[in-house]
Each structure stands twice: as structure tokens, then as C-alpha cells.
Structure 1
């Protein structure tokens, strides 16, 4: 019989910012209780998805293979409206709103400092939108004029965008919890841990390996980012630099005469005097493409890597992904890299286009690779379950302790 079970457990706190976590970690396990399980397949959502999106994939895998499927609502997964996030204006948004109005010599009958929720600021923006249109009609504004404003997103469970570290630890903690309290029958020769994800989900799969290489047997990665060179803006503090350029996403026609730029709620900041400063060390630990770190990681038992990437991906360059893959290969790791570089590779079913993600369905990605993975022998991954990385002025140490991943950070000076 197919079993779908949801768990709520205590996971990691925010060690970097010394913040006690308020929320429980939620995850779902799907398995057939009549089968002996050969592997746990963790399907990791990217930005804009959560465990509700993968119900059909989990059921398909559990019915057709001897696997249990793990879906994790990792920290701050609810950071888009489709996963429950709410619009609000933070202090920077309000400052931008007020300054922008003064710049065009306009006033509105609303106190901007009191506009917090969408229900409060929407009437003010509707009023402003109509006033701009009136001025356009009177030739006071150019017909193409649009007012640029910023808006923040309040994630579910009163969380915030830590980005990467807490999210990956959550995935590993869910995996460790299931291994400790397994409700299913496992194969006598051992059980594989397979992580699969697209885009940010693929990034988190690789970051899990960086944090605990001994815990992962296979990574299937479709179009993940490997550095924060171009993607640091999705953390949420880009508005401190240029809110019209370094935004998480934008609505350019939400109001006809205004462009809205949206930002995750985050405590990270560019302010070097703040205890929440996103320093070079914070960036380095979050990047999977770091040669020094990969040299350390390669000394541990590592997983098999299966990766897909398009030459025409506008978010993550193929060259950057190739650099990452080449370092893995230099260390003799088991890597299968599928580069999509030509329209001839589009079959309309598996590979549907040449853009980010290539339209590859998660179900077909699993169907293509899982049978072979299950046939391969389980590798011995016995090692010390602790790994450390020097990141500028900090040393990050990840340790498996009491069936959880524990992070400690010390100054390297």
C-alpha cells in the first residue's frame, strides 16, 4: 500500500546570525510498505515550488521503483506568492516610495510610513497610478513614463531568506531523521541517498554534498547555479545597491504606470558595520564552485554526479558550469555531464527548448536515470563525518552529530 506521511521536526537554527529558529521543518515521505526500499530519492524544489508540487512525482516513483521519496519544505521555501508569501513594504521600500514621489513633485493622501501590508499600500498605489495617468493625459508626463518602486515578500512561517546553508542542512536533517526512524523495510545490502533538483533545487543538492559528502550517493542536477557571481541578488538585499537592477523578480504591468521590483525578506545586508553583513566569507561558503573547497571535499567519499546544462542558459553560463564539472573530473569523481548546445538535441518530449532548465520534466529525468542508478553497487562511504572550509576570515565546520548536521563557525585569525 502506498503511504504518504508528513513530519514536523526541529532542525537547524541560524548559526551565522545567532538567531533561534521559530519554525519546525516540514517534510513528506512517500513509499510502498510492501516493498524493500533500495534508495531514498529526495526531490528538491527550486524557487517558487514546495512539496505540494511533487505529489504525482512521489507517487509515480514509489509505485514503479523500490524507493522512498522525500520532499522537504526547507527554510524559506514559502518565499513566493504561489507558495504563500505576502507582499509588504519594509523601511527601504517606504523610503524609495517617499523619495520617488518627491522627485516627481507628487503627493498622495496616504501616510507612507503606515503602509505595511498589500491591503494597506494597494489603494495608495492605485491612486498614484491614476494620478500619473492623468498627468500623462495632460502632457505633464511623457507617454512612456513609468514610476519604479520596490516591494518586499514576507515568507511563510515568519521566516526570512538565509539562502542556501539552512536550506541544505534542512534537507540533510530530514534525510538523517528518516534513516534513524525508518518506517519502511530497507534492503539488506544498504540504501542509497539520491538528490535530484532543477535550478535552485540542483544548487541545493550540490550544496548538500559540500556540507556532508558522506551522506549523498548520487546527485542529478538540471541547470544549477554554482556561484553567486550573478545570482547574489536573489538573496534579497540588492535594493540596497540598485533596486531596479538587482531585484529577485519584477512585475512590469501590475499597475499600468508603475514597475514593481520584488525582494525576498532577508536580514543579510551590504552594511559592513552590521552584524548581518553579507561578508566575502558568507558568499564563499555558499558557492559550490570554489577550487580550494572542492579540493577538501574531494578527499571524502563523493557521490556520482549527473548534470544537464544549456549553452543558452541566460542565468548560469555553460562555461561556469563546465569549470565546476572539470574540477570534479580532475579529482577522479564519477561525473556524467550532458551539454545541450544545439537545436538538434531538442526532441520535444525530454528536452523541449534551449533556455534555463530546457523544459526537462522532473518525472522523465528520474525515469531516465533511476533504473541504472539502482543497479549500480553501493559504494563504501566510511569516513570521518566532519568537514571544514576556510572562508576568508571564518572557518565553517559541518559535523554529523546525533543524527543531525551541526554547524560551527570560528574566526580564522
Structure 2
């Protein structure tokens, strides 16, 4: 019988910004209680439709029914940063500043809401701006081709914020360690649970980052369209860098007749070099998967299997040349790593691969059916390497990031390098 269990546990604080976390970590475990479980299979949602809870539950049940695995679905830190996952909208200080400048230029009188808005209210506000501009166009005071472009922020559920990567990967590891310490299912005799992580886009990125932080825990990564380096689009403060063209927008704009709204997630990171929250080169390095000297450090630990699918035309969100370079380095370091670059429309079959844009419209169920049996066979043929060292350290520009396993938790310590 398929069993679904939900857990809430304490996870990690924000060590980099020295902030105490307010929220609990929630995750779900799905398994067949008549099977002997050999593997934990993480399905890691990204920022799109695969974050929908009903879809995730259906997919988890399908996998648990068809394979000897327990399926883990983690509501990692800031997963609720889209309207479909519960986020609300608001205008932060930068949003308000940008909009007020537009209003001043055209001598428009409009009061910007100071409270959070549900999606329906946000659309009403959007229409108010649109009608305001149209009235000025009708009066001949604004050029007919003028479009008001402005940002808006999404505040995630649980009053969280976009830390990007580190806390999210720690959440995945802490869920993994909790299950290993408290397994509610029958285990294979004499064998440790193997761990496979699968994700698309940001979910695939987190699978890679988790393997970077805890390579001795992760046995395999199955990925679709993840970025090899952190993405400016999802870090939350792209509007600080370019608020005119909104080059680093997170999602496609909400488009009206006279207005474009560009949504961004709430973040505490900033481009201000004088702030303690500055997203410095160090903080970028630790989040990059494509960081050659970090990959060399990781290669001295048990090596996960990697398989990835990527579109050659995914040039904005996840540059394919970076992904190709990452997988070349992995191979050079003797990782078992396979990258399938989708290069032409001839490879679109309408079922597995539906287009050549970011994510390729890929069916996760088909990806699982295609790659999970191969990964399970690889793990069966290659017993888990005994490994006692449960810590790893990555030197960055001015800080060493120490990750260590202590009492069924992954702990981060940041050590400043002496100048």
C-alpha cells in the first residue's frame, strides 16, 4: 500500500547573514510499505509548474508504485515564491522608487499600495496603472507608443526570502539525514540507503549543489536544464542592476495595453558593496557548480553519477556553453557524467522533448522512466563506498565555507580568510 507521510523539522539558519530562521522545514515521504526500500529518490521542484503540490504528489505515487524507492519531496526554503505556491505581491522600496520616478516625469497622481496584495488585488492595481496611462494618451499628454515598465516583488510564504541555493540545499540534506536516522519503511539488509536526486531548472541546480555540499551522501543526479552558475534572473535583485530594460527579470512580464509589470522575489541580497548583505564574488562562488577549484575538491570524495539534458538554445536562463564546460570538467576529473545537448528541432518528439527553450517542456515522468532504471542498475552494480569523512570545505575569495554533518544535520560555518 502506498503511504504518504508529512514531516516538519528544524533545519538551518542563514549563517551568511547571521539570521535566525523563523520557519520549519516541511517535506513529504511517499513509499510502498510492502516493499524493501533501497533508495531515496528526491524529486526537487523548481520555480515553475512542477512546484505544484498536487502534481508532485501524483508523480511521487507513480514512482513509488513502479520502483523500489521512497520518494522525497521537500518544501525547501523560499519554495513559495510564486503565486501558484502561495506568494503575495507588494512594492518594496526599489519598486516604489522606480514607479514614483515614472509618475513624477508625467505628473501623474497615484498612490502606491503599501500593503501586500493577493493576486486578484495585484491585477486590479495593474489595471489602474494601465487606465491612468491610457487617459494621459487620450489627452495627448503621453506618446501613443509609451509603455510604463515597473517591477513588483513577490513575498514568499512563511515570511521567507530568496537566499538562493545554500539554505535550500541544506534543507534537502537535512530532510535526507532525518529520514536516514528515522526510516519508517523496511530497509535492505546490511545496506545503506542510496540517494538519487532529480530536478528541472532550479530543481536540477539544487540537485547539483547538494552533491557539491555533501558528495558522500548523494549517489546520483538526474537533471534537466539546470544552470551551471547561479542565475542573476532568480537571485531577486536584478532590478538593482538594470531597472530600465529589466534584463534580469525573473519571469515573463505581466503585459497590459500600456504597462508591463516585472515580478521579482523578495531578497535580502543587494548589489551595494557597502552593505553586509552584498552579494559578493565569494557568495557567488560557493553557489556556482561550475567552479573548477571546487570541483577538484569534490573529486576527492565519492563521486556521484551525473546525467543531464540541455537545450543548445537555452541562452538566457542556463547558458549551454557553461553546462558543456561543467560536464567536460566532471569527465576530466573521472566523474561518470553524461550530458545530452539537444541541438535541433529534429529531436523534438512532442512527448519527451516538446521545444528548444528553457526546460524543453520536458515530461518529468518520461525522464524518470528513461533514466531512473539505469541509475538504479548502476548503483546496484557499484556498492556504496565506505566513507567516514562527513565534512567538506570550499575556499572562496575571502571566506572558507565549511560544511559538516553533526547530529543528523548539515552545519555551515564561514571562516573569513586573513588578508
- 1:11-410 aligned within 5 A: 11-48=11-48, 49-108=51-110, 110=111, 112=112, 115-118=114-117, 126-188=127-189, 189-228=191-230, 231-243=231-243, 244-253=246-255, 255-314=256-315, 315-376=317-378, 377=381, 378-410=383-415
CA displacement at 1:115 relative to structure 2: 2.6
Local SS of the residue matching 2:14: coil
Aligned to 2:233, the other structure's residue is in SS state: helix
Q: Deviations over 1:34-65 (max 9, x none)?
A: 10011110000001315443111110111111
1:195 shift after superposition: 0.2
CA contact (8 A) 2:52 2:84 kept: no
Question: 2-side partners of 1:127 and 1:409: how far apart?
Answer: 47
Find runs of 4+ consecutive structure 1 residues off by over 3 angstroms: 119-128
Q: CA deviation at 1:129?
A: 2.5
Query: How many residues are matched?
Result: 407
**Per-residue CA distance 1:91-127 (angstroms, 9 max, x = gap):** 111111211100112223x3x4x63323787666544
**CA–CA separation in structure 2 for the residues paired with 1:27 and 1:308:** 26
More moved, 255-264 vs 272-281 = 255-264
Q: Evaluate the alpha carbon distance shift between residue 383 and residue 331 of structure 1 in structure 2; reply closer, same or farther with a 3 A threshold.
A: farther
1:339-397 Cα shifts (integer Å, max 9, x gaps) = 21122222222222222222221111111122222223333141411111111001101
What is the rounded CA distance, in whole Å, between the counterparts of 1:36 and 1:198 in structure 2? 28
Distance 2:12 2:257 in 1: 43
In the alignment, the residues of structure 1 paired with residue 411 and residue 385 of structure 2 have an alpha-carbon distance, to the nearest angstrom, of 23
CA distance in 2, matches of 1:122, 1:323: 42
Q: CA RMSD in A?
A: 1.6
Give a deviation string over 1:260-289, Cα, whole Å, max 9, x none.
111110111111121111111011000000
2-structure distance, mates of 1:366, 1:73:
20
Taking structure 1 as the reference length, the TM-score comes to: 0.95
Q: In structure 2, do the counterparts of structure 1 residues 128 and 307 end up closer, same or farther at CA, with 3 Å as the change threshold?
A: closer
| Aligned counterparts of 1:217 and 1:395: Cα–Cα separation in 2 | 25
Offset at residue 245 of structure 1 (A): 2.4
